[in-house]
Structure 1
Amino acid sequence: MSNNLLILGAGVDRTQGIDFPLANTLLADVSRYLEGPGKPVDEALRAMLPGLRFSFNNMIARAVDKIATRETHEQKAMVQRVREAIVDLPPEQDSIRKHGELIIRLFEKLATIAEQSYLDKETEALIREVFPKDADDLIDSDSILDIHKLSLSDTFKTVLKRTLKMGLSGEHHAVATALGADMLNIETLLVEKFLGFYNEKPADIKNYLYISWALWAYLVAKQREVLISHGDVKLPFYGKIPNTIRALTLNYTAFLQSHLGDDQVIYFHGGLAEYVRMDTRDLLPVENILECDPADFIRTIIAPNVDVTHEDVRQQRHVIPALVPPLRLKPILSHKYIELWSKASHWVSEAQHIVVVGYSFNNADEHFNDILRCHPGRKIDIVVPEAHSEYFKRRMEAVLNIPASQFNTVKINGHLALQARNVRLIAARASDVNIPSLFGLE
């Protein structure tokens, strides 16, 4: 039994030399992959899914149409992301800053309409005075305008569509990336389409099969590209992990498994090396994942096991990658995940020292956060660039029950850190910290 447990999040695969994209830009990378080297994957998936209408460009139009139905706080959050994206742009990118200012101005006008439509106290009082007996029936909403039924003008729609399409192109565009981080988030898309398995919507199921296997193919191809580029040289970060510890990852890549082996690793959200048959919940292996050709695997192994031709969804056959969608309420793709998550909880309970790297404790992973909540008292070092931000300290209060006011500034291995009780927050990237040293193994 190891007293040391390493927990890895998405930030680890952002390490220079690995350079995997984060979720908020992943969809653009997958889209470009399917139009380029991954074109055979796209063709194999469309052959497997007759009648599929999904495309990432069409998705933009649907995302734009839904803008008016967003809650005011969601629209304000989108504006804030764009504002942050343009605040430090250099003078030579003035045209992009102007583009951002246009988006901000349009959204602020939409937010103003929504805010002005709220029923204020004075208006409510007048309604109650004029209609004293029927006031409760008349006041059935907190607004005098149903903002969700508004339709955006062609001007607004066209500006948004053109901006988002820039985010799918090869050239980085700060405003398109900021806007797409919310509107074109592939994790949000997967969650939306995965529900098709529950409410038996054939179109959503087809879309999920296409999107999830396209994502899987891109990640497999990207993983292979990283491994080939390094040859016999150890991978950044992963190559420095002590082989005497246990590790739990929230990522899908096989880098950790390749370094530590199967017995010392748990893939909490599933991985690229397995897939699931949805009717029997069988968890099946992908043979030799590091050498796998995604298009060939989909054509020869997956397609023969998928049948979406029956009108009755219950008579169809669906095979999906073993990538657990980022839902707060985790779906059970296979009974093996019940055992896996129980094992993860057991490892946390046995650990005396936990080091968390590149994981932001976001709301979508509450299932995992709950495991940490259930086993207090461990020594925990948390390494993320934003560790000292007010937002992250609030997350620590929510997840680990440590008030932000209790943290003191200390220094750990040359890095400034915040410490409260047995928790230390180290503001650093994965590549900047010495994992063996944090565990006291040097």
Structure 2
Amino acid sequence: MTHRTCQAIILAAGHGTRMKSKTPKVLHKIAGLSMVGHVAHAAHQADVDQVALIVGPDMDPVLQAARKMHPSVVACEQTERLGTAHAVLAAREALEEAKDDVIVLFGDTPLLRAETISSMREKLAEGFDVVVLGFRTETPDPYGRLLESDGNLVAIREAKDCTPEEFQINFCNGGIMGFSGAHLLELLDKIENNNSQGEYYLTDAVELANAQGLKVTAIEAPEAELQGVNSRAHLAKVEATFQQRARQEAMENGVTLTAPETVFFAYDTKLGQDITIEPNVFFAPGVTVADNVTILANCYFEDAEIGEGCAIGPYARLRPGTVLEAKAKVGNFVEIKKSLVEEGAKVNHLTYIGDARIGSKANIGAGTITCNYDGFNKFKTDIGKGAFIGSNTSLVAPATIGDGAIIGAGSVITDPVNADDLAFTRARPIIKAGWAAQFRYKKSKDSK
């Protein structure tokens, strides 16, 4: 099949005053990714060739957020807010470069799936000139209704303009529209603003297309997928929907969640099979988990790679740059940052590991710290395979501990330790017989 070219238009110029934020609305995040990033990512997955991002003045951060998820995003500035059709026309220059398909998206609908965009493109490939994305709802009152006849969409009727019969229709306008690139500019130029708001509405293209004898249809998506965000409450609701969807997908793909409602995933969390995740676990962006991993309760992960058969937690934190190789073990109250923990190594409890390599089958005792920062620079600690680090040890980087070496508990190590050596720093204890009893006796007399 010949590849059909596609241009997406993402409307993202609104500031979102109801968000009560200095941050543009579409930069607020769902599952660790900006809303506009979600939409650009969906477009990329749906093989959209180019994206024209409609932004207001001084909104370069919005452009950069979209470009992170789609390499071919250009910004088109909308200086006046005169309706959706007017916003799309801000991309006139891009639209004049003929594309087979044009999909108009909204930067504040982050749950839209790539499969839904592809379904719209399939309808355009079948010969339809306009495709409207709709949804069915039990509470249609505020939404525009999609009016169909013989399988064609004939009009979009705003709720306030519906007849009593039309008002009963529960097939509603989701706002997202697809167009044949050959006809879009012609339709846009015919849209007028003779309405109470004095704005140019993209939805008017439906009746204009029908009047020209073009083919117009509507397809259906789940209501939850088309949720928009206009307030912090909406943001929380959409986040909850994303998490519910992500949890369901995880369980369907072989992950056990003992308390699903307490586990939170990022937009890019990658999970293998036969993973068990206990309650209150949070995945920030950039985490990959291989098969047969057990994650105990109350853990936090960010930009980390967890190998097959690892056991983690409870109360463990993996910070950016952490890599756990197969069968590594990270226990309670352990924090690891920018470090490699090789196969079978154990960091069981109450430990900080930063900027380090821990060799295979090494054992790190409780209370161990890699002292990797001197206030100005970071330094690396290298711990060899099979090494044993005693409890309450401070390894002052740059430190090198050879294979099989043993570090005595309570040590502060500042010099290299060779393979199979024993190293410890421990002062001789001073014991004064009977001193404690004499001290208590003196204090009791002084208090009388």
For normalisation by structure 1, the TM-score amounts to: 0.24
Flag the structure with larger Rg: 2
TM-score by length of 2: 0.24
Query: Which structure is higher in strand share?
Result: 2
More helix by percentage: 1
